Amino acid sequence: MAEHREFFYRRLHSLLGVVPIGLFMVQHLVINHFAVYGEESFNRAAGFMAGLPFVLLLEIFVIYLPILFHAILGVYIVFVARNNTRTYGFFRNWMFRLQRITGIVTLVFIAWHVWETRVQIGLGNADLDYSLMEGILTNPFMFWFYVIGVVSAVFHFANGLWSFLVSWGITQSPKSQKIATYAVIVVFFAVSYLGVRTLIQFAYGV
Amino acid sequence: MAEQSTVTFIITRQGGPDSTPYEETFEIPYRKNMNVISGLMEIRQNPVNAKGEKSTPVMWDMNCLEEVCGACSMVINGTARQSCAALVDQLEQPIRLEPMSTFPVIRDLIVDRDRMFDALKQVKAWIPIDGTHDLGPGPRMPEKKRQWAYELSKCMTCGVCLEACPNVNDKSNFIGPAAISQARLFNAHPTGEMNQSDRLNGLMEDGGIDGCGNSQNCVQVCPKGIPLTTSIAAMNRATNIQAFKNFFGSDNAH
């Protein structure tokens, strides 16, 4: 692979975005959604995840390293693009641009989110439970910051799924790419619902 | 369109590769069925700008005048296209002409498209058949395949897809959609297929197919209607398989 390093990194970037990062995000939002069934239910689900064997290793290899790689190469990819939606305002060109914008928004959001939750728990300044998130999200500013962060992460995942299918040569024909577009729109709304519904539960208790 | 007596061109000009670009306005007499090139020819005959000052003829590139050679591409009213096929009657006035921004300007509207030809070399977009003796007839090509391959062969290296691509610019080394589609064309040919791994490995070099970000502008703007994004996706699959073959496979030849 040495002679095709750039190709290999870009393909790895595409793969990591879906497996494991995309899968982790969906799993994360599903677990969080237990909050909707009550405080007790959320604490049990989150406690189960935190109590998985080798949890730190799992976190490092399934979450931290892949996200770090995806983020660093991603920022470079954002940097080398010259957006031209003003001249060429096609749907896919807008998706291309939004993919880059949501990537940066998601990066900022994840950095803050990890600092505020996982790092603080790790330092012993906070406990992993319902009240931690409740405390953060009852602040209206943080609530909207989280809504924007979650929705942009989900958009980045759903649209990234679409380009994953192209980058790996699965959807080639215009027709299959169109159907994939409809499919990822469904993914976007379904996963967004999961995430935002949970945020509303934490913020307003409903 | 109402009968009018003059046509106004606002042209972005540049004396040489390193000079500063400037705009110059020309008003030329209107004739029926003019295209942008005939307008430029009119300016060349009498290079006097709209202020009545004597100027120099505007330089541009052209060859076939029937949208087949790809030489006369420029940005007309904001969109990259061939100036021979741009009819004055169908354009909003004043008509703004600029050189394509993706390529280095040589002078006025003439750009250097060398990078496209370098890209064709990178992907080996030809079929090596030269030898010292007659190799005999090559394998036959299925008609159905010939039909879609013919569409790909319409590429005239005009540069419009590169101009529209947000990932082709001076910050990136992406070769652009045209060469990727040409690799697919020559890999589709029954004789060219024998060297397909060479072309796929060319696509995997730095600046190759991985630079595509799926904005899909290329397929929208291609004057020849080439299914560029289908070609890119097809070559994505082919290069991925080639990458696995290179790493895990035992057969270096293919």
Tens digit of each residue's pLDDT, chain A (206 residues): 557 999 999 999 999 999 999 999 999 999 999 999 999 999 999 999 999 999 999 999 999 999 999 999 999 999 999 999 999 999 999 999 999 999 999 999 999 999 999 999 999 999 999 999 999 999 999 999 999 999 999 999 999 999 999 999 999 999 999 999 999 999 999 999 999 999 999 999 98
Q: Which among B171, B216, B240 has the least Cβ separation from residue A79?
A: B171
Tokens representing A169 are 């040569």
Distances in Å between the Cα of B158 and the Cα atoms of A96, B35, B90, B100 are: 24, 18, 21, 10
Query: pLDDT for A28-70, tens place per residue?
Result: 999 999 999 999 999 999 999 999 999 999 999 999 999 999 9
Q: Which among B164, B221, B237 has the least Cβ separation from residue A172?
A: B237
Query: Strand, coil or helix: what is B98?
Result: strand
In whole angstroms, give the CA distance from residue A165 to residue B233.
9
Average pLDDT (B93-111) is: 96
A14 Cα to chain B: minimum distance (Å): 10
In whole angstroms, give the CA distance from residue B224 to residue B218.
11
Q: In terms of CATH architecture, what is A2-204? A: Up-down Bundle (1.20)
Q: Which among A88, A163, A172 has the least Cβ separation from residue B214?
A: A163
Look at residues B66, B86, B82 and name the one whose alpha carbon lies nearest to residue B74.
Answer: B82
Q: Which among B167, B210, B217 has the least Cβ separation from residue A88?
A: B217
In whole angstroms, give the CA distance from residue B36 to residue B72.
10
Average pLDDT (B156-176) is: 96
A156 is in an annotated binding site: yes
pLDDT at B253 over 70: no
Mutation choice for B interface testing from A167, A168, A177 by most B CBs within 10 A: A167
In whole angstroms, give the CA distance from residue B77 to residue B96.
5
Token pair 């759903």: residue = A158
User: Does the beta-carbon distance from A1 to B238 stay under 8 Å?
Assistant: no
Angle formed at CA B197 by CA B196 and CA B201, multiple of 5 degrees: 120
Contact A154, A143 (CB under 8 A): no
Average pLDDT (B239-249) is: 92
B53 by Cβ neighbours in 10 Å (0-12 / 13-18 / 19+) ranks as exposed
Residue type, position B3, single letter: E
End-to-end CA distance of chain B: 59
Superfamily of domain B114-248: Alpha-helical ferredoxin (1.10.1060.10)
Q: In terms of CATH architecture, what is B6-111? A: Roll (3.10)
Would you call A57 an interface residue with chain B, using a CB distance cutoff of 8 Å? Answer: no
Look at residues A64, A69, A71, A145 and name the one whose alpha carbon lies nearest to residue A109.
Answer: A145
In whole angstroms, give the CA distance from residue B62 to residue B40.
11
Residues of B in contact with A81 (CB under 8 A): 166-167, 169, 172, 213
Predicted-complex ipTM score: 0.94
Query: In chain B, where are the structural domains located?
Result: 6-111, 114-248
Residue B249: the pLDDT is 86
In whole angstroms, give the CA distance from residue B254 to residue B239.
12
Is residue B110 within a helix (H) or strand (E), and if so which, with residue range? strand B110-111
In whole angstroms, give the CA distance from residue B177 to residue B197.
19
Distances in Å between the Cα of B58 and the Cα atoms of B12, B72, B97, B112, B181 are: 10, 13, 11, 16, 33
Share of chain B above pLDDT 90, in %: 90
A28 is in an annotated binding site: yes
Distances in Å between the Cα of B31 and the Cα atoms of A123, B3, B60, B93 are: 79, 10, 20, 15
Residue A206: the pLDDT is 86
Distance of CA B145 to the CA centre of its chain: 24
A56 by Cβ neighbours in 10 Å (0-12 / 13-18 / 19+) ranks as exposed
In whole angstroms, give the CA distance from residue B169 to residue A140.
42
Mutation choice for B interface testing from A10, A79, A88, A181 by most B CBs within 10 A: A88
